[in-house]
Structure 1
């Protein structure tokens, strides 16, 4: 795969990760779900895996913020296995603003798998782990 294709894949994947983070922190559930393939799987510690748009919509609707929150995602490494498939590994810190200001609630890691569908990059699987 050419260097320009790899850069294009990485840019597309990072755009999905950023759009997901922005939509999640703003409570835009439908925008989040639109970033996943219809058969996508989301794995979170302590929960059964969520699969498909209906399960994702119900979960993210229940997680809509009631107070300001911020997911800071960084250290993302994208690996492309072709022009239509990629993986990404990212670190994440979740902040919540309460009466005493911003505090870190959770530090974790995302292992993501992406697929390009009709020219659009979508999350196919996200596995989230939390750091102790």
Structure 2
């Protein structure tokens, strides 16, 4: 039987891997953290259904990180709200900061509502729903 600590560590690792891959523009590595039929909900855009839709959206030039002005998704306060040996629901706070050449500043303040499923020892995202708390263009 999988313990709560094992589930928590596994989903935290996936969340961190996702943030690093997204911030570095490694779309393939990011998409590998999703189930093939995963759903991503981001306010203001159509719901993304399946890894190909997720890959296409995050491959768009407007969604790719700018090496001259890097970004970082800082994810914290993750709470596992429900879990079993094979599934988990997690809520996390996220702040995306961007570097404008002189200083880092918050760009987005949000909350992730994630659903994970275990697959071959890895905990992959089945669903991610972003909830924007604050946005600073």
- Same fold? TM cut 0.5: yes
Unaligned runs of 5+ in 1: none
Unaligned runs of 5+ in 2: none
Correspondence for 2:106: 104
Structure-2 separation of matches of 1:44 and 1:8: 29
Normalised TM-score (structure 1): 0.93
Structure-1 separation of matches of 2:3 and 2:74: 27
Deviation at 1:47, TM superposition (A): 1.1
**Alignment map for 1:1-132 (pairs within 5 Å):** 5-62=3-60, 63-66=63-66, 67-132=69-134
Question: SS of the counterpart of 2:92?
Answer: strand
Structure-1 separation of matches of 2:29 and 2:40: 16
Deviation at 1:100, TM superposition (A): 3.2
Structure-2 separation of matches of 1:120 and 1:80: 17
Deviation at 1:119, TM superposition (A): 1.9
Normalised TM-score (structure 2): 0.90
Residue deviations 1:2-52 (CA, integer Å, cap 9, x gap) = xx6111011100000000001111110000000000000000011111011
Aligned residues: 130
Cα RMSD of the aligned pairs, angstroms, is: 1.3
